[in-house]
Every structure is written in C-alpha cells, then in structure tokens.
Structure 1
C-alpha cells in the first residue's frame, strides 16, 4: 500500500509506509544520564474557543501522555515552551497544569520539573517581574515539583543591563527551597528573548550567566541550554561550577551532546523527546551499558526529523510535536490550544509523517496512515485506489 504525499515543490510523491513499528522495551531507571522530555498539552477539541480565549485543555489525555513518558523512564519537564507557554497557554492554565501533573507524578512515582516564569505579566518593572517569578516559584514548590527558572520576556524588555539579571536571579535563587534548573532559551525559540542576560553578544551573555551560577551554585541543580549551537554548549559545559549539570536543550545536536566526550557530557531536557520518548529511552539504556556506538546508532537517525520539526521559525515546532502525537494515537484529534495546528504547512506535516514513520515511531502504523490520509483529503489530496 502506498500513499501520495505533497512535497515542498508543490507536487505529489509516492511513499510506502512502514509495516511494523520499531521494537522498544521498558526497563530499569537510567543510570548514566538524567533525561527529561518537555511535554505538550492536549487541547479540548469540543470547546467553543477562539485563538484569544484561555486554553481549553483535555486533562485526561494530557495526563495520560505524561504517564506514557514516565512509563519509559523519562522525566517530565512540565509547563515549558513545548506546552505552549506564551503561545496559547496562559499562566492560569499553566498553574493548573503544574498542580495536576505534579499530583499525577506523585501518584505514579514519576520525576517532574516545572517551568517558573513571569507570563502573568505582559510587562512591568524589575520589581514587579521579580514578584511574578516569586508567585510562580511558590506554586511549583507547593506542588512538590522541582523548579525550572525560565527566561522572561518581561525581564528581557525591562532590564537595563546585566546587573538587573544578576539581581533578579540572585534574589530568586537565595529563596528557592531546593536546587533549581536555570533555562537559557535562545531567540530562535522566542524572538522576545533577544539580548537575554543583558547582551546580544553571546560571549558577554555567557559571562553574566556564569556569574549567576558561580554566586549561587548550591542552589542550581543544572542549566538547560537551548541555543542550537553545540560548540557553545560544550564550551559552557566545561566552565560550569562543580556539581552543576548541563541539560542539553539543543534539538539539532542532542546525540553528540548526550554522548559527550573525554571531558564530560550533557544530560537532556528536550522537546524532541516528546515524540521520540520510547526510542530515546531505549537509546539511553544502551548508553547506560557503556555502549556509545549503540546509543548513536539508535539516536543519530532521529536528527533529520528533529531538525525538520524545529526548522525556522523554530517556535512553531509545537505543531509538529502535537501532529505526531495524534498520528501515534496519543490523542484523538489534531487540535491545539490557540489554534496553532495551522502554523505549519501541509508539505511540512507530510514530511514529518514520512520521517517519523521511517523511524518506526508509530505504535500502530496503519492508524497513522489512516489519519494522515484523512488530513490529506481535507486539503483535497485524494489517494489512488
């Protein structure tokens, strides 16, 4: 059986879907790396909402997907940009997501860390931004989850220089109950974060970032770096204070960064591990045995899919992530909060299907084939009989 898929050139090509999924197994917890998947939210497709309405979330399907990730040994990074923070999910929705997911993690013994930001503010003074961070940090700590201090659009707009970042982050770290993860999200993921840490010069920004770490290393579990620059991440990783981990957020270069080199390695906190969950877990268990070659053999072929999903404009990668979750049977529809299902073209989605199917990511390839054909018909692409 073949399927006709639209290409970027405007024509149609023939593709033969895979008959069987990749065989993966569950097993013991990881021993060599700490690995989080940033997880997407499942919209309620029957809610009567507009793109400007508060998010209507299907809580049962959203929590079921987190149980899927935990079942493979992955930690869940909750209420991050993959969950459409600032792109459909407001702070009220994120707070509810944090509370529900943290309770579910406790019930099933899953690891969870949650995003702390300032998205209840559109803008504000540095003092107001600090208070907004404090409000969110309290919600995460009260839920029992680990905190991830996310980059703030409001702080990027309000800060007059590096000293404001040093003051805000220093204040938050001094009062944090437990060590946190600091998240440096680059402007390719959110253009409003240009010049974060007080400078558009990444070398200068890195120095400020490291100054925060040096002053408060006892309150920092690790850093998540999402700059899509492997060499910069490696250089930064080698300059970290002793005991502070590097969690790669590089969805272009993650296999080499996780595998590491003679001077160290990165742990992982990745949006691409939402669709790659079972395969990624299988690869890390191979790495746990010391088999770097086997790890790379499993994970290297996934990079083409990841680079496709995260291609510019990178912030719309969430559309491909949710699309693949629908094809894989993790949700019954391809609807997103904020209407973001329309953010990628049909050729882009068709290529995502082809790459994911080639990797064997769909537990039921026949279901994925039927669903992509249904979508293609909506766009007027009929299949040969």
Structure 2
C-alpha cells in the first residue's frame, strides 16, 4: 500500500495490482517498423554544474536501457529530442552517444535497426545566419552518423524559423541534403508543442501549406526518403497526409496520444512508429505489435488501450518535459538504477505527476518488477516529504 499524492493536493491510498507483462522478444516478425526514442541519464557522482556545459553521461545505464529496448524487438531512434538534444545534451555528447550506441547495436544478437538524429545544434544561433550555414551544419552531423553506421533522421532545426526561412528555402536546403545522403533518410516534422522554437516550420503557420511543401520535397527526392516522422498530435492530419505519400514512403507516427489507431490503420493505410512513448511502454508496444502481426486485433487493442491515459499524462503540457516521465519509468522497471538526468531534468515534473504515472503504469501492466517499483516510488515520496 502506498499513499500517493493527487492533483487535489491530497494523499490517496493505492495498492499496486502486480499484474505486469514480462518483457520479452516477439515470437513472430513484426509487420510495423517501430523505433523507440530513448533518453540518456547522467552519472550522479561525476556530474558537475548540471545546468551548464556538457553532461557527465552514465554510459553504463544509458546503454543498458537501449539493450532493454532491443531485447524486446524494438528499433531505436537515437540522439533525438527524447535524449535532450538542445535541452542539456550538446552535439559532442550526442556524437559520442551515437558512436557508442552503434557499436552496441552491431554486437547485439537481434541486429536492431537504429536511426540517429542529425541537426544543426553544434553551432550557436548566430553562426547559422544563412542557408549555407545551416546546410553545412547538417552535413557535418550526417557524415558523422553515416561513419558510425546509423541511418539518418533529418531533425527539424530551430535555425530555419530563426532566420525566417520561406518555402523555397526549405525545398532548396532539404533537396541538397537528401542528394548528399548515401541511403534513404527519415524526415522529421516536430510540432511547436514539443519545441516552441519550431513554430512556423516549413515556412508557414498553415498546416495545409506546410504539408503541401513537405510532399513536394518528398516527391522530388523519392529515392532518398525512407519516410517521415510527424509529431503534431493531430490524428486526422496524419491520416490525410499518409494517404498522399508516394508508394513505399513510410509515415512514422510521432503522435504520442493516438498511436494505437494510427498504427493499426484504416484498412488501406497505416503508420509505423517513431515514438518517445514506446520507450515508456516497451513491453506493451512489443507484445501489441506482435498481436497485430498475428491478426489478433482484440489483444492489440486491449494491450494498448490502458497505455493511452499514461501517455497523455507523460506528454501533458508543457509537453517538452515528457522525457522526465520516461526516465522515471525506466528507473521503476530497473532498466537503469537511478533517475538523474542531464540539466537536472528530473526536476521538470512535480511529485503529483510522478505519482499519477506510477498509478497509470501499474494499470497498463508496465511495472514488470513490482517490488522494486514500489521501493523506488517510496524513496521518491520520502524525498518530497511524503512518509
């Protein structure tokens, strides 16, 4: 029994169900590509001035979590916003993360698929004053990812909105970047609910105009585009957009609210997954996708349904702080042995949030080591003065 805080500033008795899934590999080949976007943790003993400079990454725990995902048959989206790119993790750290992860992935028995974020964050904003500057920054990171053996995700860059780039500027720059890539890449459309600095991406605040431009870029560079990740939290837009994609180009949903119906599809089109939420719900994600591959829609829906309230809590406004809840769940599940994040990011959410995440994760069958989860929840409660 735990006394958990509520959003009404009260304590509520809660008894965990203890009915959790056992993390395991799928027993059949999945019919959807699924990337889980993973976080990083800091070394609590080595960290200095956590709000400034490069973090002291705890490589053992950070890579341990990636193995936990791979062991369940999931691919990995590396060095993305989930890994605090631009929010505590700089490019030198991200580059080392990519290189270490790729070495681990190549040695893993399941040979997991890994895609890595290429952006422009190695340069200060004042160094990205022109399209030439932006392109050169992207190229540097693309080359590093390809040298490590990863697939490229062309992350949305804050530099475009910062210089007021228009539609033609995006088309020209993305066309040149795609031409340079040695193999097909994943494009990245991240809404401003995840990063306010990306407002007006693709040169317009109008989502229909932005969609037309992205499709123009894809169609002009078809052989170099594996797919596009869309994180706008708008199911209707994603369904309409994916129906317009050329054959063979995947839609990777980044919709952490509506992933279940989007991945299931409408009978004609479906989405694949590149989700921060999948790092939080890996056992359910793996086993639900297994059920989908076996045409067992009843099990698929039953597994995913209770994860939706959890995901909505993790990604509540301000949405950009969602990664703290994902790291918290990794700690509860003993996929890492502490809960210290770059830039002290674990403090970005309140104790009532963590208590609600605990409740919802338990109901979603995601606390796979219940005794450890309860012990660690008690420790966090005591830290916040809850006996």
When normalised by structure 2's length, the TM-score is 0.96
Matched, 1:236 2:241: yes
The structural deviation recorded for 1:49 is 1.6
Q: Deviations over 1:36-93 (max 9, x none)?
A: 1001112111124221121111111111111111111100100011111111110010
Q: Name 1:131's counterpart in structure 2.
A: 136
Q: Which runs of 5+ in 2 are unaligned?
A: none
Q: Secondary structure at the match of 1:329?
A: coil
Q: Secondary structure at the match of 2:305?
A: helix
Q: Give the one of 124, 134, 143 matched to 1:122.
A: 124
In structure 2, relative to structure 1, the CA distance for the partners of 1:8 and 1:230 (3 Å cut) is same
The structural deviation recorded for 1:271 is 0.3
Whether the 8 Å contact between 2:69 and 2:282 is mirrored in structure 1 is: yes
The structural deviation recorded for 1:23 is 3.9
Give matches, 1:139-150, under 5 Å: 139-150=144-155
How many angstroms apart in 2 are the aligned matches of 1:48 and 1:75?
A: 29
How many angstroms apart in 2 are the aligned matches of 1:240 and 1:194?
A: 23
Q: Name 2:12's counterpart in structure 1.
A: 13
Q: Secondary structure at the match of 2:13?
A: strand
Q: Which runs of 5+ in 1 are unaligned?
A: none
Q: Deviations over 1:106-152 (max 9, x none)?
A: 11122111001111123212111100000000001111111100000
How many angstroms apart in 1 are the aligned matches of 2:23 and 2:198?
A: 38
Q: Secondary structure at the match of 1:247?
A: strand
How many angstroms apart in 2 are the aligned matches of 1:371 and 1:28?
A: 31
Give matches, 1:128-277, under 5 Å: 128-277=133-282
Give matches, 1:234-383, under 5 Å: 234-382=239-387
How many angstroms apart in 2 are the aligned matches of 1:322 and 1:243?
A: 34
Q: Secondary structure at the match of 1:140?
A: helix
Q: Secondary structure at the match of 2:252?
A: strand
Give matches, 1:66-105, under 5 Å: 66-105=66-105
Whether the 8 Å contact between 2:22 and 2:283 is mirrored in structure 1 is: no
Q: Secondary structure at the match of 2:336?
A: coil
The structural deviation recorded for 1:368 is 0.7
Deviates more, 1:158-167 or 1:259-268: 158-167
- Poorly superposed stretches of 4+, deviation over 4 Å: none
In structure 2, relative to structure 1, the CA distance for the partners of 1:49 and 1:24 (3 Å cut) is closer
Matched, 1:34 2:36: no
**Count of residue correspondences:** 381
Q: Secondary structure at the match of 2:316?
A: coil
Deviates more, 1:317-326 or 1:29-38: 29-38
In structure 2, relative to structure 1, the CA distance for the partners of 1:315 and 1:289 (3 Å cut) is same
Say what the alpha-carbon RMSD is for the aligned residues.
1.1
Whether the 8 Å contact between 2:186 and 2:225 is mirrored in structure 1 is: yes
Whether the 8 Å contact between 1:26 and 1:71 is mirrored in structure 2 is: yes
Q: Name 1:52's counterpart in structure 2.
A: 52
Deviates more, 1:272-281 or 1:171-180: 272-281
How many angstroms apart in 1 are the aligned matches of 2:27 and 2:13?
A: 41
Whether the 8 Å contact between 1:224 and 1:247 is mirrored in structure 2 is: yes
Whether the 8 Å contact between 2:22 and 2:368 is mirrored in structure 1 is: no
Q: Deviations over 1:306-330 (max 9, x none)?
A: 0000011100001111111111111
Q: Secondary structure at the match of 1:57?
A: coil
Deviates more, 1:113-122 or 1:19-28: 19-28
How many angstroms apart in 1 are the aligned matches of 2:231 and 2:160?
A: 18
How many angstroms apart in 1 are the aligned matches of 2:204 and 2:311?
A: 29
